[in-house]
Structure 1
Amino acid sequence: MYVRTLYATGDPAQLGAAVDTTASEGRDLVSEQPGFRGMGLFVDRELGKFLAATWWEDERSRDASDEVLRETRARQLAPFARTAAVDNWEAAVARPPRSVGPGAWFRLVRLEFDPAGTDVLAGIFRDMALPRLEALPGFEGASLLVDRAKGRAMVGVVWSDHDALAASRAGVAAIRGEATAQARVITRSIEEFEVVYAGVSPPS
């Protein structure tokens, strides 16, 4: 599958309206597009950060949907968004949750690596990191998204609640340290978000 992410920042006081519009009108619109498989919406209400991820059956569906949704996306984020970045990804390893909502939490790790090592990274995540993540209490789903051309990746893990997210930090740090050393990748950032909604259907 393929994924498009939208990462926006702005005034925390104006975040709620953008979230509400995206979770209702935006979610309805995107779900009508050919090839749509699911969506995740994550927020940091304290700092004013907004992350939306839409999942697509194939690369063509993802790219075609962007033409349809681009203007609507800008309107839904106004007046909240002061910065916005849209990125396209391949889901190299995908075990996203079927459906979780408020109360769940999400950790995002951004990585950089030699593009020639993309398949090595995917193999390490699939065969070593993911089984160990799945064994941790409160695990709901995880995915490795990659940009092969630019040597960038995002690892996203959904947890059942904030207590599970917090309790996982030490265990996940150990997994991350071992995986990044084996794959020779650099960790650029770690962020944690409240889940508004996250759900992805398996590819047909």
Structure 2
Amino acid sequence: MFARTTTVWGRPSSVDDGIANIRESVMPVVQKLHGFVGLSLLVDRNTGRCIATTSWQSEEAIRASAPLVREVRDRAAQILGGTMEVADWEIAVMHRHHESHEGARVRVTWVRIDPSRIEPGIEIFKDRVLPVLDELEGHCSTSLLINRDAARAVVSSAYDSVEALERHRGELDRLRDATTEETGADTVEECDFELAIAHLRVPELV
């Protein structure tokens, strides 16, 4: 399974217009494409940063989709009024404790990884991180995306509410620090987002 993230650093005042555009214009296009699995949208209303993620059944499908969605993707960026960055990822892990719903809170952590330690790192994530997260009240789901060429990874964990995420923030920080130390990864950035659209239908991958 593969995913494409489109990150737009837009105007905070345009976030609701951007959400509406993705619902009304982007989703009808991508839903018709071969190999499409689902779409989610994360937004930060304070900064205007938005991350749309589409998932695909195969590497062939994600490559074939690129020219077909370019126009609607560029239009979405224009509506948000900001710069855009597109990246493709392998979905290494997808685990759901229960379904996430719109309005949930998502903590996203970007890390730099040693290419020689990717596979052991994935196994450590499955065996030691996921069981801890599943014990946290309000934890919905967690994914691990890998870009082997760029030696980068992204961890996204969804929680039922802002309160649920805040309640566990200290424990999550300790878990992040212990995991990055054990896997030899470096945290690049970490941000919290609102889950504005929740239609990512990737099956369980653990």
When the two structures are superposed, what TM-score results if normalisation uses the length of structure 2? 0.93
Once residues 39 and 182 of structure 2 are traced to their aligned partners in structure 1, the CA distance between those partners, rounded to angstroms, is 31
Rate the CA distance shift 1:99–1:62 in 2: closer, same or farther, 3 A: farther
Rate the CA distance shift 1:199–1:95 in 2: closer, same or farther, 3 A: farther
Which residue does the alignment assign to 2:55?
55
Gaps of at least 5 residues in structure 2 are none
User: Does residue 1:132 correspond to 2:132, yes or no?
Assistant: yes
User: Deviation per CA, 1:5-45, whole angstroms, max 9, x where unpaired?
Assistant: 01101211122211111023212221111111111101001
Q: 1:108·1:157 contact (CA, 8 Å) conserved in 2? A: yes
Which residue does the alignment assign to 1:89?
89
Query: By how many angstroms is 1:98 displaced?
Result: 7.2
Q: 2:97·2:134 contact (CA, 8 Å) conserved in 1? A: no
Once residues 84 and 47 of structure 1 are traced to their aligned partners in structure 2, the CA distance between those partners, rounded to angstroms, is 14
User: Does residue 1:113 correspond to 2:113, yes or no?
Assistant: yes
Rate the CA distance shift 1:98–1:4 in 2: closer, same or farther, 3 A: farther
SS in 2 for 1:46: coil
Percentage of identical aligned residues: 29
Once residues 77 and 97 of structure 1 are traced to their aligned partners in structure 2, the CA distance between those partners, rounded to angstroms, is 32
- Quote the RMSD (CA, aligned, Å): 1.7
Structure 2 counterparts to residues 22-61 of structure 1, below 5 A: 22-61=22-61
Q: 1:98·1:199 contact (CA, 8 Å) conserved in 2? A: no
When the two structures are superposed, what TM-score results if normalisation uses the length of structure 1? 0.94
User: Deviation per CA, 1:130-157, whole angstroms, max 9, x where unpaired?
Assistant: 1111111111110110011221000001
Once residues 185 and 11 of structure 1 are traced to their aligned partners in structure 2, the CA distance between those partners, rounded to angstroms, is 32
Rate the CA distance shift 1:46–1:75 in 2: closer, same or farther, 3 A: same
Quick check: 92-101 or 66-75, which moved more?
92-101
Q: 1:37·1:203 contact (CA, 8 Å) conserved in 2? A: no
Amino acid at match of 1:34: H
Query: By how many angstroms is 1:116 displaced?
Result: 1.2
Once residues 61 and 48 of structure 1 are traced to their aligned partners in structure 2, the CA distance between those partners, rounded to angstroms, is 30
User: Deviation per CA, 1:63-111, whole angstroms, max 9, x where unpaired?
Assistant: 1111100111111222323210000000111125775333211110000
Amino acid at match of 2:117: G
User: Deviation per CA, 1:136-182, whole angstroms, max 9, x where unpaired?
Assistant: 11111101100112210000011111111111211111111111111
Rate the CA distance shift 1:99–1:64 in 2: closer, same or farther, 3 A: farther
Rate the CA distance shift 1:203–1:142 in 2: closer, same or farther, 3 A: closer
User: Does residue 1:75 correspond to 2:75, yes or no?
Assistant: yes
Aligned residues: 204
SS in 1 for 2:118: helix
Once residues 176 and 194 of structure 2 are traced to their aligned partners in structure 1, the CA distance between those partners, rounded to angstroms, is 21
Query: By how many angstroms is 1:4 displaced?
Result: 0.2
Q: 1:39·1:53 contact (CA, 8 Å) conserved in 2? A: yes
